[in-house]
């Protein structure tokens, strides 16, 4: 498997061809939306820093505003940064396997790269009409030579479409979305070890693949079963089906940390206060109904791609943050960012008392003092 195992150009071409157009707005309105989202990202940055006590970038760049094809191109760039070095390592490790040397291997690899590129593009086309924003952790190298720290991206057509469908106040909704995404920026710029930890777990996950042909066939059979189960309305996902036992263990750690950061984002966007987003309760209620809705086909695709799992992560993570903050305050909760060892496990997210006992001590609530200081988010 070399860097050409995925034809990234095919992925972009397929994704941009298949993606549905966004809502139709005039040029003047589009410029206004872009300007307001940039401004609200700055406003949200201040609220997030004040509320969470996290030491993030002092004066970050405003959010990058993109359309759906722009989101697809940005994600392909991110995939290349992460995956291409790993593919080279996997190729060295595998040697003459299914896609080994020789003319047959070259043909299979060439065909496979286009098919895989089309698959990646089709998935991105589906996601590009759903994602409101994201904090991009993995960016191509900066031409200036500085290491990129990440980029906050907002997908303007999707934000406009959702606020129209929900019938909510546009400014409130846009600020609400910015609060969630700015929380992610605070997490990954204020906690210096977090990005490296996530990338390390992703690398280990991908390198733990079963490359033996027999194991690969077993994974493919599991994937077929997962598709059949999802169509019947079951809970199977392709992500579960294609994992080796070692990958499941790594994915547990990845899922735990992503549940924390997503839940923290959801908690902050709702808790910052009605004086900032006056209609927050109405927005949350309508948005939650939208999350849970959709056609049967849409629900099937969400199950297969693991999107329903991500929805559960928002809820579980938010409950964890809410419970910990309620019992030990924001300073006590912020102990979570000290190191990889203070991150909650899967079980601790489900039962926050286990995390508080382990990290803060069994008498955490009683021992919490008013003069407890928010720890430096970089774990120094």
Nearest to 134, CA basis, from 53, 48, 64, 30: 64
pLDDT string in tens for the chain (380-residue length): 344 568 899 999 999 999 998 898 899 999 999 999 999 999 999 999 999 999 777 778 889 999 999 999 999 988 888 777 777 766 666 554 444 444 444 444 555 566 788 888 998 998 899 999 999 888 876 666 665 568 999 999 999 999 999 999 999 999 999 999 999 999 999 998 998 898 888 888 777 765 444 444 454 455 445 444 444 444 444 455 455 677 778 878 888 898 899 999 999 999 998 889 999 999 999 998 876 666 665 665 655 555 556 667 778 999 999 999 999 999 999 999 999 999 999 899 999 999 999 999 875 555 554 444 433 333 33
Burial of 79 (0-12, 13-18, 19+ CB in 10 A): middle
**Cβ neighbours for 36, distance < 8 A, ≥ 6 positions apart:** 171, 174
Inter-axis angle of helices 245-271 and 170-190, nearest 10: 130
Q: What is the C-alpha separation between 256 and 343, in angstroms, rounded?
A: 8
Contact 112, 5 (CB under 8 A): yes
CA distance 310 to 262: 9
Per the structure block, which two tokens stand in for 159? 């934000």
The distance of Cα 297 from the centroid of its chain, to the nearest Å, equals: 23
């Amino acid at each position: 498997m070399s860097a050409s195992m995925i034809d990234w150009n095919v992925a972009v071409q397929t994704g941009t061809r298949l993606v549905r157009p966004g809502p139709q707005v005039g040029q003047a309105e589009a410029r206004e939306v872009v300007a307001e989202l940039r401004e609200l990202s700055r406003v949200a940055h201040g609220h997030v820093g004040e509320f969470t006590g996290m030491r993030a970038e002092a004066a970050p760049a405003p959010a990058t505003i993109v359309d759906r094809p722009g989101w697809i191109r940005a994600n392909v760039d991110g995939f290349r940064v992460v995956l291409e070095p790993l593919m080279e390592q996997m190729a060295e490790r595998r040697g003459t396997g299914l896609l080994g040397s020789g003319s047959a291997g070259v043909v299979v690899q060439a065909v496979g790269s286009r098919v895989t590129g089309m698959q990646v593009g089709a998935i991105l086309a589906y996601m590009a009409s759903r994602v409101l924003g994201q904090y991009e952790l993995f960016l191509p190298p900066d031409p200036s030579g500085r290491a990129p720290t990440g980029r906050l991206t907002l997908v303007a057509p999707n934000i406009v479409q959702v606020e129209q469908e929900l019938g909510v106040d546009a400014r409130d909704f846009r600020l609400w979305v910015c609060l969630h995404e700015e929380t992610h920026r605070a997490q990954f710029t204020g906690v210096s070890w977090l990005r490296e930890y996530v990338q390390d777990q992703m690398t280990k996950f991908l390198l733990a693949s079963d490359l033996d042909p027999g194991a690969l066939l077993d994974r493919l059979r599991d994937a077929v079963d997962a598709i059949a189960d999802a169509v019947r309305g079951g809970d199977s996902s392709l992500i579960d089906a294609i994992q080796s036992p070692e990958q499941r263990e790594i994915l547990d750690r990845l899922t735990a940390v992503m549940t924390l950061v997503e839940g923290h984002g959801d908690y902050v966007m709702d808790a910052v206060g009605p004086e900032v987003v006056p209609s927050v309760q109405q927005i949350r209620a309508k948005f939650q109904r939208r999350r849970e809705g959709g056609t049967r086909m849409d629900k099937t695709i969400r199950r297969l791609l693991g999107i329903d799992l991500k929805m559960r992560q928002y809820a579980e993570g938010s409950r964890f943050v809410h419970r910990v903050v309620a019992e030990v305050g924001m300073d006590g909760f912020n102990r979570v960012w000290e190191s990889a060892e203070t991150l909650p496990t899967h079980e601790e997210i489900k039962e926050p008392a286990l995390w508080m006992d382990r990290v803060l001590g069994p008498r955490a609530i009683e021992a919490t003092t008013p003069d407890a200081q928010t720890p430096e988010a970089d774990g120094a």
